[in-house]
């Protein structure tokens, strides 16, 4: 049973933290896959434009959820790492988590700025036009495109590392670390 940090140490994350984790993870996977597919479609077809819109909507949603997730995390302590975990692994885990949080904000922000520099409006869910933060700028557009792509591939590497580490802890270390985020796994 999860307890508040003031009453003792929790063994799992809160239901809210778990929901944020898996919802954002699902959206990131969908956004990455959609980005990969849409950029391979030649020309400006209706399908490609639709995929670009969906990709942007996912990005805006991830950005908003990441803000809420960070606020939640700032007010709700994570469960402690297993006592047997080496100090370097604890440090690495904290560093990777910090980078994941940074990328959950930086990737949608870079995509949003890229759209503005490309003079392409972002209309969330096709209903809410979001303000343009920068003027159209072809040179900046190319820089922001490169930044957005680079950050996405950095995220891909970190997510793979995150998953491999979680599976290592589950199957090799058998320290119950994975059950903190998937409580029905023992």
Q: Confidence class of residue 176 from pLDDT cuts 50, 70 and 90? A: confident
**Residue 11's pLDDT is what?**
78
**Distance of alpha carbon 35 from alpha carbon 134, whole angstroms:** 22
Q: What is the dihedral of CA 29, 65, 133, 157, to 10 degrees?
A: -30
Over residues 121-147, mean pLDDT: 96
CATH classification of 10-180 is 1.20.1260, yes or no? no
pLDDT in tens, 66-99: 999 999 999 999 998 888 899 999 999 999 999 9
Residue 155 pLDDT exceeds 70: yes
Does the pTM of the predicted model rise above 0.85?
Answer: yes
Please, which pLDDT band fits residue 6 given cuts at 50, 70 and 90? Answer: very low
- pLDDT for the residue 8: 33
- Quote the pLDDT of residue 5: 37
157 Cβ contact partners less than 8 Å away, ≥ 6 residues apart: none
Six-digit token string for 26: 């699902």
Angle between helices 15-39 and 138-168 (to 10 degrees): 130
* pLDDT tens-place string over residues 15-69: 999 999 999 999 999 999 999 999 999 998 999 999 999 999 999 999 999 999 9
Longest dimension (CA), the chain: 59
The residues with which 180 forms a beta bridge, in sequence order, are: none
Q: Residue ranges per domain, the chain? A: 10-180
Q: Which residues contact 30 (CB under 8 A, 6 or more apart)?
A: 58
Please give the mean pLDDT across all residues of the chain.
91
Query: Higher model confidence: residue 24 or residue 11?
Result: 24
Query: How much is the pLDDT for 183?
Result: 76
Spatial distance between the Cα atoms of 146 and 114, rounded to a whole number of angstroms: 9
d(CA 172, CA 11): 19
Distances (CA, A) of 13 to 10, 182, 183: 7, 9, 9
């Amino acid at each position: 049973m999860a307890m508040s940090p003031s009453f003792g140490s929790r063994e799992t994350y809160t239901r809210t933290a778990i929901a944020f984790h898996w919802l954002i993870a699902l959206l990131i996977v969908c956004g990455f896959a959609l980005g990969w597919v849409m950029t391979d479609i030649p020309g400006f077809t209706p399908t490609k434009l639709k995929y670009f819109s969906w990709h942007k909507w996912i990005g805006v949603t991830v950005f908003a959820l990441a803000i809420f997730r960070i606020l939640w995390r700032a007010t709700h302590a994570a469960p402690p790492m297993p006592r047997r975990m080496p100090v370097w692994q604890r440090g690495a885990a904290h560093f990777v988590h910090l980078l994941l949080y940074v990328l959950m904000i930086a990737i949608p922000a870079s995509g949003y700025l890229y759209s503005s520099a490309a003079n392409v409006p972002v209309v969330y869910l096709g209903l809410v036009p979001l303000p343009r933060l920068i003027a159209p700028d072809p040179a900046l557009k190319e820089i922001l495109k490169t930044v957005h792509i680079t950050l996405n591939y950095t995220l891909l590497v970190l997510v793979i590392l995150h998953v491999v580490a979680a599976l290592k802890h589950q199957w090799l270390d058998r320290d119950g670390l994975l059950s903190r985020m998937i409580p029905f796994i023992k």
